[in-house]
Structure 1
């Protein structure tokens, strides 16, 4: 079985408070985008995980894909599997790529072994793996709050729009990003955002991580400015960085960032 775990972007990202458990509450709209990894899972004589493409840091035995398998294997006595992940989505880039890979493992195992788990139980497993993981179970535009693992409906109209993602290959860890954050209420009327044209979003939306990361990494604000100069209706850093994106009417411009890792596509 082969699947294509996709990335996501954040429309606005407000860190609203620090929780007693050490995590942070946030408000954001998560939007799936079509930049994908490639994941294959097959029955095997023993459970193995291998990867290709972008090198994945850390011990392969602790990879989120194996942890996702372990959660379901413990409860459903799954047989061994072979997993191969071809990594394409940049790592430490604010796109949720690793979380998506893990969530897709849960969904693929559910299908491969006919476990019959609906969305909510799969989301519960995903929450054990990381704050972003649960979003990728349903993989739809959602208003996200709590740790980023609680959702409600929101209607965002991106019909006819395209996106240009630019990754300067700066790795920013979650710990580094949160170290510079000063939580505060968002003050955002999300229903107003949903009803407003994309070109007006910059009046109200912000990514709180930009305040501390832009001075530290000058390439990031330069990318944002270049996206606006290239005609973006709205531009922002995604997640905790370092990917910066622009949303355009019609097709996104080509050739703006030669030599950088980019992806373009329609919503």
Structure 2
């Protein structure tokens, strides 16, 4: 999981550290409406997972980024690079850093990979180059989801996703399935706007109680209907998770990754193996919440 720079000793400039940039799922996502500033008012339960991308970071004379596992740019078009540049400038660091990003998560998948990579970069550089920088404020300039990943725990996200209230979500095993579809968050929200299919707040207390009791979750994803209607593979993924004996299948974020809860780690791993065998082209992972 991301390391909190405020509770750890500073790294020596010669040290290289490796960090997990955790994925997230939305255990529920309500889109309350469109704001006057063009953003959407959200009410979502976001939970980090023990699976994610990997970042290796060390001090250097200049800022350089290398990406493994995906064909992504390595300059200011990359959110990790922008996060690093933003922190180094805010901290007044004259040097830079060598960063290697190892992509383990699918791209444009609703798992928050890019936002988590950016937040982890900020925390890693704050540990490497300690300075009185307001990380949450800096994170928000990079994206609405980035501040969530500074928390390192589940939270109720409101506003545009930047008003965060930590939640006591129990550790839960689950299975992630991505059917190989990339979904633009911009498109997902535009489709919702076309239908004006805005939704009421989530039943957060009911959701937490259902997680503890291993019951079906009283939840929904407001984006799931508009997105799944345009991407049949997402419908297939949700159906496959249910057929595999898992509960409460749901699309995460703007998709295309879907997930469902398991009663145990053993059930999650068995279901993931079965799903991978049935759908070899899909990305399937058994994991759990942090």
- Scaled by the length of structure 1, the TM-score of the pair is 0.91
Question: Which residue of the other structure, out of 24, 37, 58, is the alignment partner of 2:40?
Answer: 24
Superposed displacement of residue 60, structure 1: 3.1
Q: How does 1:145-164 map to 2 (within 5 A)?
A: 145-158=158-171, 161-164=172-175
2:89 matched residue in structure 1: 74
Alignment partner of 1:205 out of 190, 198, 219:
219
CA apart distance, 1:42: 1.5
Ranges in structure 1 where 5+ consecutive residues have no aligned partner: none
- Deviating 4+ runs (over 3 angstroms): none
The question of whether the paired residues in 2 share the 8 Å contact of 1:94 and 1:238 is answered with yes
**1:16 and 1:183 in contact (8 A); partners too:** no
What is the RMSD of the two structures over their aligned residues, measured on CA atoms?
1.6
Equivalent in the alignment of 1:96 = 112
| Structure-2 change in CA distance of 1:14 and 1:73 (3 Å) | same
- 2:287 is the counterpart of 1:265: yes
Equivalent position of 1:51 in the other structure: 67
- Gapped regions of structure 2 (runs ≥ 5): 1-16
Question: Bigger shift: 148-157 or 27-36?
Answer: 148-157
What does residue 255 of structure 1 align with? 274
Greater mean deviation of Cα atoms: 169-178 or 95-104: 169-178
Displacement after TM superposition at 1:45 (Å): 2.4
What CA distance in whole angstroms lies between the structure 2 residues aligned with 1:71 and 1:61? 10
8 Å contact kept, 1:178–1:209: yes
Q: Give the superposition deviation at 1:163.
A: 1.0
In structure 2, do the counterparts of structure 1 residues 192 and 128 end up closer, same or farther at CA, with 3 Å as the change threshold?
A: same
- In structure 1, C-alpha distance between the alignment counterparts of 2:42 and 2:251, rounded to whole Å: 16
Q: Is the 8 A contact 1:49 1:66 kept in 2?
A: yes
**Superposed displacement of residue 144, structure 1:** 0.8
After superposition, give the CA deviation of every residue in 1:138-178 in whole Å (9 maximum; x if it has no partner): 120111111112111323334xx311101112111111111
